[in-house]
């Protein structure tokens, strides 16, 4: 049921409320009687998406369990219209699990886009990067364990020791969001401007949403992901 | 399944997500392993409520269908942390249904509380009030119908005609909210400072929530509804 | 300073925070050093708008005092990302002020758009509509006053008496919102699909925003108001 | 103007809107005429705070510039009712600045509170912890610099290289919030259950708020910080 993402991550649906029919049911509250026959569900959903009638999409809700590197979590959490419960590194001990990119994902800084990637690193440079990432993470975790250990010493508070750990360590959370705001998240994070490591999570969620609400997902794909925004000047 | 409220209103559960166990499940994400045995569910829920750890309660969600007078809707909609789809009086024709208080709910203005009620009206005064409310609503609705009629005339736009209708006309909506914000709503609206006509809706929802998440509701009742807030000076 | 809207309404700026420069200042926090020379302010603002980088626009805030008919207030309040304090009809007595459309705004129901207007009403029909609106409002208000009067009687609670009043009575509020969400409001409410009576408020606010943040307003106008959204299929 | 916090952090007010008088002005909108003489400002503010009438406090807004360690930022950002622009580690190069606790802040894990601190570490243990924190941060940063360097190599993308950096590195952001939600933040983060390193930021902000809105801060301190919540059972 869980979809694996990156080297140790995953996305898993815990629960959901509503479906394509629930979107239409809510939209039809607005229209009252006398409009029974308006449109079939898919047509209505496409109409709502096209005209930015977003509130009926808020009537669906999904709760995910996600395991993800901290630097991805830092981007993700910026989406405020969600409910979150994260693993506490004050309360509990983090696992020794770090995101180490695959060779083909070790990208150079883009020379044209300050916020992007260019070619894949190769040869010695790639090797050195991987060695640094692995060694530094390993050492940081060894020291984390040593610092919190209470054998023969007091043991540093976990909330302090964890600050030694790098941003590629994995965390996890429950994340619950409505479908409108999930689409907004997906539009921004399944987009080519988003960092690859969050994009793969967004892509995995896209697959799940496609199964869950196929008509809504189709409309989203057509009007938001595949669409274009022209300015008045361009028109 | 629907609970009747006031003379023509109701509250009905359309769907929900999560339960007492889901609150605990989310809270336990934070605590990780090594804390399995902490507490039973009810103890944990009471702990969360007592310490204002509100995010696990956001992991439950409920969707209601509500029929309510417009003046109640105007108070209710001020709660922004919810998702709403309301019947459109631009699109559709409103029904001839008005809230007319029962004799015992016809209260005088409080003489001590500017925002409250005092004794029940009696005798001629009560009769006159009821007559005004009924007659004015009836006449306004007759004119509403006449204005929008397209028989022998163009027919006024519905979005304009509805402005003739008084605030005790009924509307309806789908209203979806998470449990933390529902509790916040209930604390404010099942409270004695709230207007009677919204309080009866809050009371009906309290009954539903008690059935749905008994442990969470119990903790809410004890710490929020029944509790007291003392200031530093008072202590 | 206040702009008059409709027959008794207005919009007035109470206070604001930030300006075009504040948007850029916030956006440049992200870019750190080494990007000083990127772009001039207007170019940067257009870039942010084009790419839906909305958070820098949230760094500006405006507080308005608005007087508006209740049926307009009911549409307006649906925008949840704002802060509101409204005149209390439980606490205070409403004024005898009703929105009565000008002759040229008395529109017939559209025959092609269920949620819209068609031609202007004329002749006797128009006269009858105006008479109904004026008379019903006047009578409702007379009865309101009579019911709450405490001369020679107890006097009905204001919170109950107000339910006799029609939706074209005026209310007022303070409304505070950030610029990003204000643009969202304006996109939806200065749009031709919005009801005329809220559109004139949105138009008045547009003028104010143009004075306040000319570069941001220009970008908004070009990319949001004047722009178009093409679907993937259309492309 | 900026208040220094921890070893390299600070909090600085960029802008604000409103003051104690603005809270009262908004609250008085609700009360309309006939209630001019109700109360002086401080009395009104204390009344609003006591009765959880929170919306008038939303009428004040403040914008801060904050420099803070990443692990503190991760707790802070969980407060969703704010506007944020953070320094981008995809776009820009992070500075070599790490939070290293003072000797007296090197606390052991609490033995009674899973999410808290106990005694201060001493002797060799304290020294070793400081050595680890400093050395690991230094080495991680050296490798970060090496990896992104484009001298004689392609240079790893900054968005990837930064994942090698530990959670005590400093970041910065603009953070804008209304006074009601700021009080909510302060109640949770100036509290003894909050981690020391975020508490010192909350404390610094408390001082600023006290200067800015003394009456509101006084009420907050008395009813929220100094107050107590009793359950029904306790009563
Ligand atoms: C001592 C302490 C320990 C903590 N430990 C943990 C932990 O182990 N794990 C963990 O995950 N978190 C933990 N937290 C964080 C906590 O769960 C909250 O995320 C954080 O305190 C922000 O509080 P808030 O949600 O009330 O604030 P805000 O996000 O500012 O929200 C304020 C209010 O606005 C409403 N609101 C805002 N956004 C939404 C939304 N999207 N949906 C619904 N309502 C919304 C709600 O009514 C909310 O109460 C801890 C916090 C503290 C103070
Ligand atoms: C022409 C027109 C016709 C309309 N007809 C109807 C109708 O028939 N029936 C009807 O019910 N409404 C109708 N509406 C109202 C509409 O459904 C929206 O409620 C209103 O436009 C506010 O838009 P919003 O939700 O995007 O704005 P805001 O509430 O300001 O929200 C902005 C964004 O913030 C986020 N957000 C804010 N609050 C929440 C929250 N609590 N939960 C999740 N996300 C949140 C969402 O991403 C949202 O898109 C109509 C609106 C227009 C313009
Ligand atoms: C007895 C009583 C009398 C009242 N009298 C009046 C009156 O005279 N005039 C009047 O105008 N109102 C009045 N109200 C309404 C009151 O001001 C609130 O609007 C209403 O109670 C909703 O409360 P809330 O804002 O806490 O709820 P929600 O809107 O559900 O918000 C819950 C929490 O989420 C956060 N939040 C949600 N949306 C936003 C946002 N856009 N910006 C910042 N934070 C947000 C805040 O932390 C908020 O506390 C009255 C309410 C009651 C119960
Ligand atoms: C490619 C990319 C690059 C980025 N680079 C940076 C960067 O360099 N620096 C940086 O700081 N961020 C950066 N971000 C994050 C970005 O600024 C947003 O924080 C993030 O995308 C979440 O978007 P959102 O605010 O629309 O979503 P949500 O927080 O889910 O909000 C959705 C909508 O709800 C409403 N809303 C929700 N909460 C509030 C609130 N508290 N107040 C007012 N309205 C609210 C708004 O209308 C908002 O548009 C980047 C994002 C992307 C995709």
- What does the pLDDT look like over D195-204, one tens digit per residue? 999 999 999 9
Tokens of D2: 């900026």
Q: Is the pLDDT of residue C176 over 90?
A: yes
- Which of D229, D233, D235 is the best substitution to test chain B (most B C-beta atoms within 10 A)? D229
CB pairs under 8 A between B and C: 160
Gap between the Cα atoms of C169 and C156, Å rounded: 19
pLDDT in the model for residue B161: 98
pTM of the complete model: 0.97
3 state DSSP class of B205:
helix
- Mean pLDDT throughout D119-134? 97
Closest residue on chain A to D158 (Cα): A109
Distance of alpha carbon D222 from alpha carbon B232, whole angstroms: 5
Does pLDDT of C33 surpass 70? Answer: no
Please report the pLDDT score of residue C1 as a whole number.
83
Chain D residues with CB under 8 Å of B232 CB are: 221-223, 225-227
Q: What is the pLDDT of residue C38?
A: 60
CA of D56 vs chain C CAs: smallest distance (Å): 7
CA-D193 nearest atom, ligand 1:
1
Specify the pLDDT at position D38.
60
Residues of D assigned a catalytic role: 189
Percent of chain C with pLDDT strictly greater than 70: 97
pLDDT at A33: 63
Could you give the residue numbers annotated as active site of C?
A: 189
Q: State the best of D12, D89, D174 to mutate against chain C, taking most chain C CBs within 10 Å.
A: D174
- Pick the residue with more confidence: D37 or D94? D94
> What's the pLDDT score for residue D13?
98
Q: Rounded to a whole number, what is the distance in Å from the CA of C39 to chain A's nearest CA? A: 14
Determine the pLDDT at residue C219: 97
CA Rg, chain D, in Å?
A: 22
The answer to whether B86 contacts A33, with C-beta atoms less than 8 Å apart, is no
CA A213 to chain CA mean position, Å = 18
Mean pLDDT of B130-139: 98
Q: Do A31 and C222 touch (CB under 8 A)?
A: no
Given this model, what pLDDT does residue D230 score?
Answer: 82
Chain A residues 42-61 within an 8 A CB cutoff of chain C: 50-52
Distance from CA of B174 to the nearest CA of A (A): 7
Q: Is the CB of D79 under 6 A from ligand 3?
A: no
Contacts for B103 with CB less than 8 Å, ≥ 6 apart: B120, B126, B130
Please answer yes or no on whether D132 and A164 come within 8 Å at the CB atom.
yes
**Cα separation of A97 and A116, whole Å?**
26
Instruction: Share the mean pLDDT of chain D.
Output: 94
Tokens of C22: 């504040």
Calculate mean pLDDT across residues B153-170. Answer: 97
DSSP summary character for residue D229: E
Structure tokens belonging to residue A40: 């079939």
pLDDT at D34 over 60: no
Q: Of B13-22, B24-33, C18-27, which gets the smallest average pLDDT?
A: B24-33
Percent of chain D having pLDDT more than 70?
97
For residues B50-68, give the mean pLDDT.
97
Those of residues 67-86 in A touching chain B at CB distance below 8 A are: 83-86
Is the per-residue pLDDT at C105 higher than 80? Answer: yes
Question: Which of A78, A81, A107 lies nearest to residue D157, judging by beta carbons?
Answer: A107
Q: Which residues contact A176 (CB under 8 A, 6 or more apart)?
A: A61, A62, A63, A64, A82, A83, A84, B58, B59, B61, B178
Inter-chain Cβ pairs, chain A and chain B, closer than 8 A? 104
Distance CA D224, CA B229 (A): 9
Residue A115: which of C56, C27, D138 has the closest Cα?
C27
Q: Is a pLDDT exceeding 90 seen at residue B15?
A: yes
What are the pLDDT digits (tens) for D42-76?
999 999 999 999 999 999 999 999 999 999 999 99
Give me the tens of pLDDT residue by residue for chain A, a chain 235 residues long.
899 999 999 999 999 999 999 999 999 998 876 455 567 999 999 999 999 999 999 999 999 999 999 999 999 999 999 999 999 999 999 999 999 999 999 999 988 888 889 999 999 999 999 999 999 999 999 999 999 999 999 999 999 999 999 999 999 999 999 999 999 999 999 999 999 999 999 999 999 999 999 999 999 999 999 888 788 888 7
Residue with CA nearest ligand 2 atom 22: C79
Neighbours of chain D (3+ CB pairs under 8 A): A, B, C
Closest by Cβ to D114, choosing from B35, B226, B234:
B35
* D35 pLDDT higher than 60: no
More reliable by pLDDT, D111 or C190: C190
pLDDT above 90 covers what percent of chain B? 88
Chains interfacing with A (3 or more CB pairs < 8 Å)? B, C, D
Looking at the DSSP bridge assignments, the partners of residue D44 are none
Chain A interface includes D199 (CB < 8 A) = no
């Amino acid at each position: 049921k869980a979809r694996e993402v990156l080297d140790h991550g995953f996305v898993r649906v815990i629960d959901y409320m509503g479906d394509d029919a629930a979107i239409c049911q809510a939209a039809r509250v607005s229209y009252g009687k006398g409009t029974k026959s308006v449109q079939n569900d898919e047509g209505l959903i496409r109409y709502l998406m096209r005209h930015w009638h977003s509130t009926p999409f808020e009537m669906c809700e999904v709760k995910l369990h996600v395991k993800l590197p901290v630097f991805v979590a830092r981007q993700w959490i910026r989406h405020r219209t969600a409910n979150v419960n994260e693993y506490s590194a004050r309360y509990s001990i983090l696992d020794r699990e770090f995101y180490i990119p695959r060779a083909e994902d070790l990208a150079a800084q883009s020379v044209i886009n300050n916020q992007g990637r260019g070619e894949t690193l190769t040869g010695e440079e790639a090797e050195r990067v991987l060695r640094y990432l692995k060694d530094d993470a390993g050492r940081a975790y060894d020291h984390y364990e040593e610092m919190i250990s209470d054998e023969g010493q007091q043991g540093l508070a976990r909330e302090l020791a964890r600050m030694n750990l790098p941003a590629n360590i994995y965390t996890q959370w429950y994340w619950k969001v409505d479908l409108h705001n999930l689409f907004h998240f997906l539009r921004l994070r399944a987009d080519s401007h988003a960092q690859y490591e969050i994009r793969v999570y967004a892509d995995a969620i896209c697959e799940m949403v496609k199964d869950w609400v196929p008509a809504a997902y189709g409309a989203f794909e057509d009007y938001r992901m595949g669409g274009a925004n022209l300015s008045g000047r361009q028109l």
